[in-house]
Structure 1
Amino acid sequence: MGKKWRWGVILDAGSSGTRLHIYRWLDPAKALKEASYEEVYSLPNIVTKDKWTKKIRPGISTFGDRPEDVGPEHLQELVERALDVIPDDKHADTPIYLMATAGMRLLPPTQQRAVITETCSYFRANTRFFLPNCDTHIQVIPGETEGLYGWIAANYLLGGFDNPEGHDHGKGHHTYGFLDMGGASAQIAFAPNSTVAEEHGNDLKLLRMRSLNGSPREYKVFTSTWLGFGVNQARGRYVKALVDEFLINGEHEVPDPCLPRGLRTNEKGEIVKGTSKELELVGTGEFDECLRRTKPLLGKNMPCNDKPCLLNGQHVPPIDFDVNHFVGVSEYWHTTHGVFSSKNDDAAYDFNTYQKKVVEFCSQRWEDIESNVEARKKDHGKEAQEACFKASWLISVLHEGIGVPRYGIENTPIPGFNVTKGIGEAAKEKGFLSPFQAADEVNDVEISWTLGKMVLYAAGQIPPKDNYRLPVGFGSNTNGVPPDFQHAGSSYNVTSSIGGDEDDWSDTAEDLIDHAKSKSTSGFFFFLLIFMFIAFLLRKRDRRMRLYGKVNKVLRRRRRPGSPRKGGFGISSITNKLFGRGPYHYERVLEEGDVDQFELGDASSDEGDNSDSSGGRSRVGRSSGLATPKLNVGSFDDLKKHAHPTGTGNALDRSGLVVRTESRERLFPQMLNAGRRSRAASPTRLKSPLMSPVTED
């Protein structure tokens, strides 16, 4: 079960909130050593867990006029979760990213820069995560980049990359299109068929990744974004059009066909009760009229300078829906699987069935909807208020804007075709036959563009095969490395150490502790006893002490603050017998009068280039903050040969064992064996950078 993990942290700073995502994957050298034949030709296996994600509200863009508060008032909670999940000794090699999307794009450039600068400063001051370059790690990303990352994530999870034969949609096409919609913007990304790709080559992005064996993977993808076409921004434009048309001087009520009958809200969507003189939107529950009024918001009448165009006069190459099968996430999922669906409703999307549900729902009186919704889930109230407009906007964007065929009218899907609940298996078995399908996750992993970024980063850590030295990343569709090429941000190291038994047992212990913490109290101690028995089998004392530290850390977390420590024969006495005396019983073994011969040595750190594609590491976050006692050997000329400032050479020299041993022989021969036990167990020595060669984790 030995696992040497690499970690990555990325924060998705959207318009409504910021969401933390933590991912991990095996070191490429370790993964290749253990890979099956199929895995050798696949992309790195990225792992995440539900508890490794966390979302807070509101969006980071709300700090535009007070950027100094973004750290303590917004990011702190997310940073603490990341620090708690990722092992301390992995922090320096764990990249951290914050990538802001549509909400931040709407801010003035000066406010964007202020928030970004404060965010980077906060990360550097409060973490040791790998952050060599603020401009690449903390940024407002274009919508096209967000769409490309989402396209990577969807195809990675569905299997379009690693199993082309199993996902053949015809004409040699095996990847899936990607649709995303948030509160402020919407994205599209897809790989056109070969004919369109040749005709519209200048419109495409060249994406390059690597399989585990180092062989290149190249794809040509079109990606575009529509800023202002997210549901919240579209709703704002819709309300403004209603007010301009229907508001009469001296009145304050405006009819709204996209609200259920009897529902009254203000312009912000807050329910108005009782009498009020502020502007009120009064629901009439006329969904056909709602659809008619949302269509003009698509901007289909805007001039198209580069045909063909879809929304707002923006060019998009022709979409062949026979082979381009799209996955819709975020609002596409929530709007089709929110208040309109039940727990047992997992059938594939078709226009006819969906619109019937929407019309039935939106024609009800608000009192009836409210009572039914509260019986299901209280926090669905706000969702129910907005459901009719969101459904109308989704239908308009999908079918009137993008041109997705209306399954249920224009075509008939396979009867009973179930795709949403087990979308991974359905994609493998059926090839994802519908031109459009809403999805939220695949095999319990969320389809998030942040995953696409981490897949690209992990692929960049794989050494290239033979002479295929072109970097991992994306840019203009030209040969070689175009000027606008965006590197993955990672680097590979051919001589990277795989790690030995100690790394394997350490990671195994971490997994065991993680599993035990999720169990009941009795189950926790049962797993803990098993863990300590395994630790006892590891005969080397330094390994046992590392494991003891992990157990002790967990025990301190399990004990409630302020609760007394129990004496007698307990866990503490057992661990003392297994591991020896713990770190709180450090024995002083310096000879009398030796204090002046020891001084604190400066901790050194490697410096390297800070470019995205370089193999160097920044000074930021690399130093452990610990200094190792260093013997002042001024009068011992014959001992100078053992000192090595760079940390290379013989392992005994680096760890200082030769110096200490010869020093004792010269000063007090009878003290030769004194104190060796406590020195081996010293927590400071174990953490010293001089103990062993520095390796990439």
Structure 2
Amino acid sequence: MEDRKDFEFKRFCRKNILAILGFSSIMAVVALIAVGISQHKPLPENAKYGIVLDAGSSHTSMYIYKWPAEKMNDTGVVHQTEECKIQGPGISKYAHKLDEIENYLYECMERAKEVIPSSQHSETPVYLGATAGMRLLRMENEGIADKILDVISTTLSSYPFDFQGARIITGQEEGAYGWITINYLMEKFIKKSNWYGLLAQGSYQQETYGALDLGGASTQITFVPPKMEPVESPDNSLQFRLYGQDYTIYTHSFLCYGKDQALWQKLAKDIEDTSNGVLKDPCFHFGYERVVNVSDLYKTPCTKRFEKTLPFHEFHIQGVGNYQQCHQSILQLFNTSYCPYSQCAFNGIFLPPLQGDFGAFSAFYFVMNFLNLTSKSSLENVRQKMESFCSTPWEEIKTSFDGVKGKYLSEYCFSGIYILSLLLQGYNFTASSWKNIHFMGKIDGSDAGWTLGYMLNLTNMIPAEYPVSKPFSHSTYVFLMVLFSLILVAVIVTALFIFHKPSSFWKEMI
């Protein structure tokens, strides 16, 4: 009777062990096949394209963007694939040269035809957004501004792309689109996935970056401020719903406070105190000289508040190269004598307390990068470097930067001090919050700026998930393949041992 029970027990154990081994081997094989197929499944290669022309005050640039066609609405993984700088000034300078606009755009638009496959031309949207230079021209002469846009529209419509329009965007739009671009590229909107591909549960909102944009004619500051109740300046507040999250952002564009127009303002202010037509300017290097026509000085709406009748038609700039004096002269451009709100930037414009990190791009980056000041260093160190640069004589500067055009080279001293003044006295950054400013040129190959955010908005390309990519990283893939292979080997070895030495095995079992 005892032998019968032993036999039944052995039989029961054998059946269960064989079932477990069989199931384990099948699962290991299935897992190996699944991981292999998933990892080597080809990613979609079909792509769509979009073109945005950034018509700034000093120049125009064309950007070509690309994204996987199969994922246009649910991921919209957009990246910049080409940049083309159009030779010549900003489009506002073509007010009396309308017949030259076609040639102006020709080279870059032909480049777009080469980069984008011909089969995609008719589906590729083209947008042109004009910024502060055209805003100023529209203030002077709306009819001429409209004519320029009409000629541009006719020209761009002649290309085989899907032209979607040319328009002057508002300063508020420029700031908001720049903010979207920075946070899109920094992946501050995207819902992150865990390693097996499921979206993380719960509602998690990452802290966003603020956006600092500086052009030739305007500057924008945009960020998510601390919660404000009530909102003190509704005109500076925008609401977005992105990726299932609500954002209330502060944004303001200061027209006439781009670096080029700020320089014209400073010159118009300073020349009031001269009577002999010679301006000793601390913002230019010692030994530098330039002749400026008074008519050019007062041509822009930005200098109208300083306009007066002068006893000369041109004046001579003579560089002095003094950081402190230049800084004091620039500060006079910012009117901080009144503030109708709890806190202001300058000129009576509301500015809430700064919060978080900021990406500073466009001229913020170009100027500071030229001066080698984009790396993380203390504010005091930045000031010392700027003071040293500005006090260097002009002849030495020309020798050190031989390949840089003289007009641009001569203005880096002013532009650098202006940026410091704008950020510290204009926007209320401090020595402690200076570390929160990150000067950005490109992020993962895409230019930091408003154009990507503009296209994302107009094409409804804001993504909700991570980009299409391999399910596993290489290391994770190798680990899983080795793990499941070892499981399969262990099962086979165990089965072979059981079947080749059944007696000894069952003795151990009892």
**Is this contact kept in 1: 2:322–2:390, CA < 8 A?**
yes
| Aligned equivalent of 1:8 | 50
Counterpart of 1:309 in structure 2 is: 344
CA separation in 2, counterparts of 1:349 and 1:198?
Answer: 37
SS of residue paired to 1:379? coil
Q: Which runs of 5+ in 1 are unaligned?
A: 33-39, 166-170, 211-215, 271-276, 414-433, 466-697
1-structure distance, mates of 2:253, 2:162: 30
Give the aligned partner of residue 294 of structure 1. 330
5 Å matches for 1:147-546? 147-162=175-190, 174-193=207-226, 195-196=227-228, 199-200=231-232, 202=234, 203-210=236-243, 216-245=244-273, 247-248=274-275, 251-267=276-292, 278-301=314-337, 303-316=338-351, 318-321=352-355, 324-338=356-370, 340-341=371-372, 347-374=375-402, 378-379=403-404, 381-407=406-432, 434-460=435-461
Q: Which amino acid aligns with 1:351?
A: L
Deviation at 1:444, TM superposition (A): 2.6
Q: 1:381 offset after TM fit, Å?
A: 3.8
Post-superposition Cα deviations, 1:276-333, rounded to whole Å, max 9, x if no partner, equal x9521111111111101110101223x44444321222223x1243xx2111111211
Say which is worse superposed, 453-462 or 351-360, in terms of deviation: 453-462
- C-alpha change, 1:154 and 1:268, in structure 2 (3 Å) is farther
Cα shift readout 1:512-540 (whole Å, capped 9, x = no counterpart): xxxxxxxxxxxxxxxxxxxxxxxxxxxxx
Q: Distance in 1 between matches of 2:58 and 2:258?
A: 12
Q: Aligned partners of 2:233 and 2:431: how far apart in 1?
A: 29
- Alignment CA distance shift 1:304-1:201 (3 Å): closer
Amino acid at match of 2:427: I
Q: What is the SS of the residue equivalent to 1:154?
A: helix
Q: Residues 27-46 of structure 1 correspond to what in structure 2 (within 5 A)? A: 27=69, 29-30=70-71, 43-46=75-78
Tell me whether 1:90 sits opposite 2:120 in the alignment: yes
Structure 1 counterpart of 2:136, from 106, 126, 134: 106
Q: 1:366 to 1:164 in 2, by over 3 A?
A: farther
Taking structure 1 as reference, are residues 380 and 120 closer, same or farther at Cα in structure 2, changes over 3 Å only? closer
Does the 8 Å CA contact 1:404/1:436 hold for their aligned counterparts?
no
- Please tell me whether the aligned partners of residues 188 and 206 of structure 2 are also in contact (alpha carbons under 8 angstroms): no
1:429-476 Cα deviation digits (max 9, x unpaired)? xxxxx32121111123211211112222454588x99xxxxxxxxxxx
Cα distance in 1 between the residues matched to 2:380 and 2:431 = 7
Any unmatched runs of 5+ in structure 2?
A: 1-41, 194-203, 297-312, 466-510
Structure 1's 255 and 320: CA in aligned 2 closer, same or farther, altered over 3 A?
closer
| CA distance in 2: counterparts of 1:92 and 1:68, whole angstroms | 26
More helix by share: 2
Whether the 8 Å CA contact 1:12–1:18 is kept in 2: the answer is: yes
Q: Indicate if the aligned counterparts of 1:239 and 1:267 stay in contact, CA closer than 8 A.
A: no
Structure 2: distance between partners of 1:347 and 1:231: 21
CA contact (8 A) 2:237 2:248 kept: yes
Instruction: Sort the Cα spacing of 1:262 and 1:55 in 2 relative to 1 into closer, same or farther, 3 A.
Output: same
Query: How far did 1:197 drift?
Result: 6.6
* The structure with more strand, counted as a fraction of residues: 2
Instruction: Find the residue that maps to 1:400 and give its secondary structure.
Output: helix
How many angstroms does 1:141 deviate by? Answer: 0.3
20, 30, 44: which one aligns with 2:62: 20
Cα distance in structure 1, aligned partners of 2:322 and 2:94: 38
Cα distance in 2 for partners of 1:109, 1:291 equals 35
Q: Distance in 1 between the 2:321 and 2:83 partners?
A: 41
1:55 correspondence with 2:89: no
- 1:478 corresponds to which residue? none
Retained in 2: the 8 A contact 1:60–1:74?
no
Percentage of pairs with the same residue:
27
The aligned residue for residue 642 of structure 1 is none
Report whether the alignment pairs 1:119 with 2:120.
no
What value does the CA root-mean-square deviation take over the aligned residues? 2.9
Is contact 2:76–2:462 with CA below 8 Å preserved after alignment?
Answer: no
Aligned residue in 2 for 1:694? none
Of 50, 71, 75 in structure 1, the residue corresponding to residue 105 of structure 2 is 75
Contact 1:197 / 1:220 at 8 angstroms: preserved in 2? Answer: no
Larger radius of gyration: 2
